[in-house]
Amino acid sequence: MNTKAEQAKGMGPADIGKLALASIVLIAGIVGFYYFSDNPNVPSFARVVGVIAAVAAALAIGAFTVPGRKLRGFIAESQFELRKVVWPSRDETLKTTGIIIVVVIILSLLMGLIDWLLKTVVLDWLLKLGH
């Protein structure tokens, strides 16, 4: 059978507990950052490192839940698919960019000419015929 079909569909109580713990760790890091902002003995660098550590710990805890495993699988599959992409060379990129710039300029001039012609027809000819 397909291993993806055999995986559990929902989160169990352990996963909910892990996600709650990850949330508590993350919130504690953020609260600690602001709590120690008024304390001159705690440098800003230490506060930032504390928040980064809290985020890393929360991500590590959350990675071992069902949604975390699904996310890790998605990221792994995305990286695998990105290896299949054929990226254009520098020369192809420059040529394509040049062509796009030329086309945009030509279309802008064409639309400006159409706008000028319609303005001339409406304002100069049709409105003067009414008088």
Same domain, yes or no: 64 and 107 = no
Residues 40 and 67 in one domain: yes
In this structure, how many other beta carbons lie within 10 angstroms of the beta carbon of residue 87? 7
Residues 55 and 108 in one domain: no
Together in a domain, 68 and 130:
no
In whole angstroms, how far apart are CA 49 and each of 39, 58, 65?
Answer: 16, 14, 25
* Pair (57, 98) in one structural domain: no
Residues 124 and 70 in one domain: no
Q: Are residues 42 and 64 in the same domain?
A: yes
Write out the residue range of the structural domain in which residue 110 sits. 88-131
Ordered mean pLDDT values, 10 residues apiece, the chain (131 residues): 54 90 95 89 90 95 92 94 93 97 98 94 77 62
18 and 78 belong to one structural domain: yes
